[in-house]
Amino acid sequence: MKIVVIGNGMVGYKFCEKLTAKAQPGQFEIVVFGEETRPAYDRVHLSEYFAGKTADDLTMAGLDWYAENNIRIYLGDPISYIDRDQKTVRSHHGINESYDYLILATGSAAFVPPIPGVEKEGVFIYRTIEDLEMMTTYAKKAKTGAVIGGGLLGLEAAKAMIDLGVTNTHVIEFAPRLMPRQIDEAGSNILKAKLESLGLSIHTSKNTSEILGDQFITGMQFSDDTKLDIDMLVISAGIKPRDELAKLAGLETGHRGGIVVNDRLATTDPFIFAIGECALHGGMIYGLVAPGYEMAEVVATNLMGGDKSFTGFDMSTKLKLIGVDVASFGDPFVSVDEGRSIVLEDRMKGVYKRVNISPDGKYLLGGILVGDAEQYNMLLQTTKNKVVLPPNPEDVILGARGGAGNEGGAGVANLPDDALICSCESVSKGDICKAVCDGNETMDSIKKCTKAGTGCGGCVPMVKDLITHTLKSQGKYVRNVLCEHFNYSRQELYDLVKVHKLQTFDEVLNKLGTGDGCELCKPPVASILASLWNDMILAKGNDTAQDSNDRFLANIQKGGTYSVVPRIPGGEITPEKLIVIGQVAQKYNLYTKITGGQRIDLFGAHVNDLPAIWSELIEAGFESGHAYGKALRTVKSCVGSTWCRFGLHDSVSFAIQIEERYRGLRAPHKLKSAVSGCIRECAEAQSKDFGIIATEKGWNLYVCGNGGSKPQHALLLATDIDSETCIKYIDRFLMFYIKTADPLTRTATWLNKMEGGIDYLRNVVVNDSLGIAEQLEAEMQTLVDNYKCEWKEAVENPEIRKRFTHFVNAPESKDPSIQFEPMREQKKAKEWK
C-alpha cells in the first residue's frame, strides 16, 4: 500500500513515526513532501533556538532516520496539485506520485491581520527557523520592539525578543486581557503585573490601525490615536490553517478555514485524511501539538486495520511563560448558572488560582492557575476523572487546614485506575500500578516499560507517589536507599562505614557504592563520617562532599550572602560579648536579629568576609553555633531558680552544661533542646528534640518534639531523674537516633516510624533492652572528647581560609551581583525573581 504524506511538520513526522513503528517492514511505501528545506523540527520549543539550541537540536529526526525506515522524502518541494480521480499528486518541481491513501498534514501559517504597512521591513512573523534567523539579524540594530498578539504564541515571541537583546519590548493585545482563550481577566491582571515586573510593557484593548515608516518600520499607530515608536515588530496574532491545496482539490473546508474531517479524520474524499492544525474537527482547529499527535495515532491505527476515533481533545495546558507558570484546565470560564467558582488571589506573590465547581459542589469542572501551577496535575486528574471533591472544596487549592493528618482527600490513592497520569504518552494509573506489581519498582524502570514521565516530565512526582503507594499496598517494605550510587539505607551505611573504618567520601564510595556520587548521597555520607569520627568537616577529601552550608560553615541566604550565628550557650551572654557582636555587625555592615533559639543572627556577610568576622568573634571568646549544620543548634533556657521566684532548679546552668556537651554533634537532621526551671515551661522544652523540665525531685526528660511545619509535642521518656542520669539517657537517645534514622529525618518523624513507638524507645534507652547502652554512651563520649570549634580550625588553616573567596582569579573582589535594600534602619537582601 502506498501512502503519500503532504507536510513534514511535527504532526506529519509523528504520523510517519507511528505508522512505521506499527507496520511490518515493507508493508507500506511512504513518500513525504515538505515545503521547508529542513526535516521536521520541534516548533513548540522554537524560542530555545535563542537560548543556544541549534537547528539540529530541534530536529525531530535526521534524514538518516527517513532513509533507515525506507521513507522517501522531498524537502523544499511542496505539492501543488492533487488529482483525486487518478489518485496522484504533483509537486512544485514536477514530481508525480500516485497514492492509495493521502495524508494532509499541511499545518498552519501565521495569521496576519490586514493592517496597512505590514509589508515594511522590520515586520516579522514567528513561525519557522527562517523567521527566527531573519529576526536575529534585524534585532541587532533594534532597541525597541513590539509584538502584536498577547496569546500563548505572542508571549513566546515576546520572550524571543528579550532573548534577542531587544529589552524594551511591548506586547499589543486587541482583547481586553492576555491569553484570552486560556485565562480570565483577574488571572490576566496577575500575569500582566508579573510580566511587567520582568520588563515587558503590556497594552490590552489596543487596536493597531497602521504600521508607520517608509521602507523600514518606525512606529505603530493605534485606533485610539496613540502612537508607539518602535524599530521592529513581530506579528503573532493567531494561526490560519493551510487548506488551499485541499480547497483546490475540491475537498470541503470550513468558511473560516480548515479541512473538514470526520471522527476517523477522513476528509470528504475517503482516501484522503487531514491531521494536525489544518484539520477542522467538530468545528474546531486544534492549535496544540498533543491533539495533532493523537490524530496521527488515529489515522495510523486505522490504516493498520484498527478501529479508532478522534473524539475531541482536552485543551488543558500548563506552561511557563517567561518564568511565570500559567495553567488552564477543563472549562476555565464556567458561567454562573453552570457552576460556581472559588478564587484565590495573592497580588503580593503574584498568584491567582480559580477552580470551577459543579452546582452541587461535588465535581471540579475546570480552572485557572497563574504564578503557581504546582497543583495542575492533581487538579486536571480530579476534573477529568470526576473525582468527588472533599467536603470543603477550597482545600484543593488551599491545601487542608487545621487538624493533623488530614490529606484533603485528593491524593493519588483516590484516583480511579483509568486516570490518565502521563498525558504525553497516554499512560493511566492502572498501567503504572500494574507495571509496579510486575516488578518495576523504580522511576527508571517505570519510564522504560511504560514511557510515563519521558515527555514533559510533569507527572514524575505523581508516578513516584504511585510507586510508593502500590508497594506499600502490597505490604512491601519500602527500603529507603540513598540514591543511585548507594544501594543501602542510611542505617546500613552507618554500620558499614564504621565496620570498615572508612574516613573519606571517596573511600566510602569506592568500598560501598558505585559511580561518582551526587547531591543526594554526599551530605548523608559526610554526616555519617562526622557522626562517627568527628574530624574537621572541611578536611581535604570531605570538604566538597559537605552540603553547601557546611562547606562554608555558614547559612547561604537570598542573594548569595551568608549569615553568622555564634554559639551563646543557654542564651546567657555578658554585656562585653554583646558589645563585640554589635561592633562586628557594624564593621561588616550586617543585619542583626534575635533568633528563636536565644542567639543573635548576623545576616548579609560576603563570603570573603567570613574568616575575618569569625576571627574577631573567636578572639572575643565566641565559637561556632553550627546554625549551618545538621547538628545540635541551641539549648534554650528560662532564667531558672537563680532569679525566678518560681524556679525549682538552675535551668540556665544545666542548659549551658547540656549545650557544651553536645555542641557540634552531627546528626541526620538538626537538633534542638531546652531546659525549663519549673512546670510553667517558659523554655518550651516540650517542643524540642529533647527537653528537660525541673521537678521537685529532679528533672523530667521529654524526647522527639518538634516545631516546624508539623508541630508535635515531645513525649515523656523518664521522670524525676538526677542530672547525671539525665545526661546518660540523652547520650543513649541521641546516639541511637544518629545510628538508625534516615537522612534528613527529625527525631519526631523517626519516632513516628519506629515500631513500638515511645515504649520501645524507652526500653532501649532506659531499660537497655538491646544491651547497647554502655556502647552508646562510650560512642557519645568519644564524640564529646573530639569536639573542636571548626571555625577556629578554619581561620587558623591558610589552605581552608583560602577557599572563602568569591572569585578564584580575583580573591579580593566581592560578588558584584549582590544587592541590598534598606529596611527599618538596617538592610535586607534584594528580592529575587
Partner 1 sequence: MIQEKVLTWFLACRTTDVPENGGVCVKYHDEQIALFNFSRRGEWYASQNMCPHRQQMALSRGMIGTQNNEPKVACPFHKKTFSLVTGQCLSGDDCGDIKTYPVKIENELVYIGIEE
Residue 543 binds partner 1 (CB under 8 A): yes
Residue 560 binds partner 1 (CB under 8 A): yes
Place of cell 532548679: 649
459 labeled binding residue = no
Residue of 119, 360, 516, 576 interacting with partner 1 (CB under 8 A): 516
When the beta carbons of 824 and 833 are compared against partner 1, the nearer one is 833
When the beta carbons of 51 and 67 are compared against partner 1, the nearer one is 51
Query: Strand locations in 401-445, DSSP E?
Result: 420-422, 427-428
When the beta carbons of 116 and 560 are compared against partner 1, the nearer one is 560
- ∠ at Cα 551 (550, 553), nearest 5°? 55
Residue 39 binds partner 1 (CB under 8 A): no
Residues 32 and 129 sit within 8 Å (Cβ to Cβ): no
When the beta carbons of 118 and 288 are compared against partner 1, the nearer one is 288
Residue of 22, 806, 827, 828 interacting with partner 1 (CB under 8 A): 806
Interface characters, 812-831, with partner 1 (x: CB under 8 A): -x-xxxx-------------
Residues 260 and 284 sit within 8 Å (Cβ to Cβ): no
Least separation, in Å, of the C-beta of 537 and partner 1?
14
Tell me the number of residues near partner 1 by CB under 8 A: 50
When the beta carbons of 589 and 819 are compared against partner 1, the nearer one is 819
Least separation, in Å, of the C-beta of 283 and partner 1?
33
638 labeled binding residue = yes
678 labeled binding residue = yes
Residue 460 binds partner 1 (CB under 8 A): yes
Residue 267, C-beta contacts closer than 8 angstroms, at least 6 positions apart = 104, 246, 251, 252, 259, 260, 261, 273, 274
When the beta carbons of 385 and 546 are compared against partner 1, the nearer one is 546
Residue of 407, 807, 819, 821 interacting with partner 1 (CB under 8 A): 807
d(CA 497, CA 488) in angstroms, rounded, equals: 11
Least separation, in Å, of the C-beta of 176 and partner 1?
29
Q: Are strands 71-74 and 29-33 parallel, antiparallel or unpaired?
A: parallel
Stretch binding partner 1 (CB under 8 A), from 104-112, 545-553, 593-601, 727-735: 545-553
Residue 349 binds partner 1 (CB under 8 A): no
When the beta carbons of 357 and 467 are compared against partner 1, the nearer one is 467
Residue 140 binds partner 1 (CB under 8 A): no
Least separation, in Å, of the C-beta of 581 and partner 1?
26
Residue 535 binds partner 1 (CB under 8 A): no
Residue of 540, 593, 680, 753 interacting with partner 1 (CB under 8 A): 540
d(CA 736, CA 776) in angstroms, rounded, equals: 7
424 labeled binding residue = no
In single-letter form, the type of residue at position 685 comes to A
Listed residue (827, 821, 829) closest to 589, CA to CA: 827
Using CB under 8 A, which residues numbered 483 to 502 contact partner 1? 484-485
Residue 199 binds partner 1 (CB under 8 A): no
Stretch binding partner 1 (CB under 8 A), from 142-150, 364-372, 558-566, 631-639: 558-566
Residue 442 binds partner 1 (CB under 8 A): no
Listed residue (710, 642, 36, 12) closest to 400, CA to CA: 710
When the beta carbons of 443 and 715 are compared against partner 1, the nearer one is 443
Q: 490-499 and 505-512 are packed helices; what angle lies between their axes, rounded to 10 degrees?
A: 100
Residues 341 and 356 sit within 8 Å (Cβ to Cβ): yes
In single-letter form, the type of residue at position 123 comes to V
Residue 359 binds partner 1 (CB under 8 A): no
Residues 562 and 575 sit within 8 Å (Cβ to Cβ): no
Pick left, alpha or beta for residue 471 (phi over 0 → left; psi -120 to 50 → alpha; otherwise beta).
alpha
In single-letter form, the type of residue at position 346 comes to D
Residue 228 has phi, psi (to 5 degrees) of -140, 130
When the beta carbons of 71 and 564 are compared against partner 1, the nearer one is 564
Least separation, in Å, of the C-beta of 810 and partner 1?
5
Q: Are strands 239-241 and 259-261 parallel, antiparallel or unpaired?
A: unpaired
Residue 327, C-beta contacts closer than 8 angstroms, at least 6 positions apart = 316, 317, 318, 319, 368, 369, 370, 373, 376
Cα torsion 717, 721, 725, 729 to 10°: value is: 10
- ∠ at Cα 682 (576, 753), nearest 5°? 110
d(CA 108, CA 445) in angstroms, rounded, equals: 38
Residue 832 is classified by DSSP as P
Q: Footprint of partner 1 on this chain (CB under 8 A)?
A: 48, 51-52, 54-56, 320, 323, 444, 457, 460, 484-485, 506, 515-523, 540-541, 543-545, 547-549, 551-552, 556, 558-560, 803, 806-810, 813, 815-818, 832-833
Q: Which residue numbers belong to the known binding site for siroheme?
A: 682
Indicate the annotated binding residues. Answer: 638, 644, 678, 682
Residues that constitute the known binding site for [4Fe-4S] cluster: 638, 644, 678, 682
